[in-house]
Amino acid sequence: PATIMTDENIADQVYIQPLTVEALDQIIERERPDGLLATLGGQTGLNLAIELHEKGILDRY
C-alpha cells in the first residue's frame, strides 16, 4: 500500500520522483541497494527493471 511505502517512520528513505530510468539510476547510485523487488511495482516496475538491466545500470552498481 502506498501509505506504508511513503511513511517516513517505516521507510528508510522516501523518494517522490518520476518513474524513469534516469531517476532510478540516480537513486540506485546514491542508495546502492542489495537488490530490487521489481514485481512489487506491477508492470511498470517490471518494465523499468528490464530497461535498467538492458542499459547495464544494474551491473554498474
Which DSSP string do the residues of the chain spell out, in sequence order? -HHHHT-TTT-S------SSHHHHHHHHHHH--S---GGGGHHHHHHHHHHHHHTTHHHH-
| 1 compared with 32, residue with greater pLDDT | 32
pLDDT in tens, 32-61: 999 999 998 899 999 999 999 999 999 998
User: Model's pTM, two decimal places?
Assistant: 0.81
Which of 43, 54, 53, 44 is closest to 20 using CA atoms?
44
For the chain, what are the domain ranges?
17-60
